[in-house]
Each structure stands twice: as structure tokens, then as C-alpha cells.
Amino acid sequence: MRIFTASVIIAVASLGTPAFVQAQGAPSQSEAQTPPAQSSTVIRSIQVVDLKELQPAVRSKVNDVVAQTSEEDLQSLRKSIDATPEAASALKAKGLSSLQVVAINIADGVLTLITKTA
């Protein structure tokens, strides 16, 4: 079992119950003065899901969060994915790269990479 530390999470989408959290890539000034707490999440498996495969209500919420996400946050997320061999490999197996990832979900030990293709 590997431990994956998610340093930047753009969107956390619970596929069973639509719940979203947007994390900012750059801390505010008050947060910059306080050292960030490191959280470790045990990832047992990784799945890749295209945005079109999500239920309409979940897809709509993911789209809303993605629309509010800065390009810098997306770049940070994609760098984190590229730095995680297991995540990069799961994407490659589907013929994708981190450039297609628009959001992620971490729930119950499963990292879901939500992708958007043309």
C-alpha cells in the first residue's frame, strides 16, 4: 500500500454524494504565516473517469468548480499527478495525460482522476 500526499486538490467530488471542496493553490497571507498541516491519504487504487461518464448532477457540479479554478491551480494539480508514477501510469493506460485531468476525487482509498477530452 502506498501513501499519497495530495498537496493540491482542485476539486473533491464524491461520486456517490455530490460534495465539492475547492482548494487554493496559493495560500492567503494569513495562511502563509502558518505552516500547512501535512495530510496523508492512503490510496489503494486509482481510476480514471471521463467527465461525460458522470451523472448529470455530479457533472454539473464538477463543471461549476472547474469554471472557478485558476489555471495555476490546474497546473499545480497536473504537476502533482505527473510526480505520482501510479497516477501517471493509470492515465497513460487509457491513452491520456495529466493535461486532460480537470478534477480529482479521493474517497475510501480510491483516487479518481476526472478527465475531459475533446
Chain-centroid distance of CA 104 in Å reads 2
Question: How many separate domains does the chain show?
Answer: 1
Phi, psi of 100, deg, nearest 5 = -90, -5
- Please report whether residue 32 resides in a domain: no
6 within 8 A of 76, measured Cβ to Cβ: no
- Please report whether residue 33 resides in a domain: no
- Please report whether residue 74 resides in a domain: yes
Residues 6+ apart with CB under 8 A from 74: 10, 102
Determine the Cα–Cα distance for residues 101 and 98; give it in Å rounded to an integer.
5
19 within 8 A of 12, measured Cβ to Cβ: yes
- Please report whether residue 95 resides in a domain: yes
Please list the pLDDT of the chain residue by residue as tens digits (118 residues).
Answer: 333 333 333 333 333 333 333 333 333 333 334 444 445 678 899 999 999 999 999 999 999 988 999 999 999 999 999 999 999 999 999 999 999 999 998 889 999 999 998 7
Q: How many residues would you count in the chain?
A: 118
Regarding pTM above 0.75, the answer is: no
- Please report whether residue 31 resides in a domain: no
pLDDT of amino acid 4: 38
Helices (H) then strands (E): counts for the chain:
4, 5
pLDDT of amino acid 57: 93
pLDDT of amino acid 39: 57
Domain limits at 98?
2-26+38-115
Q: Which helix (H) or strand (E) holds 3?
A: strand 2-4
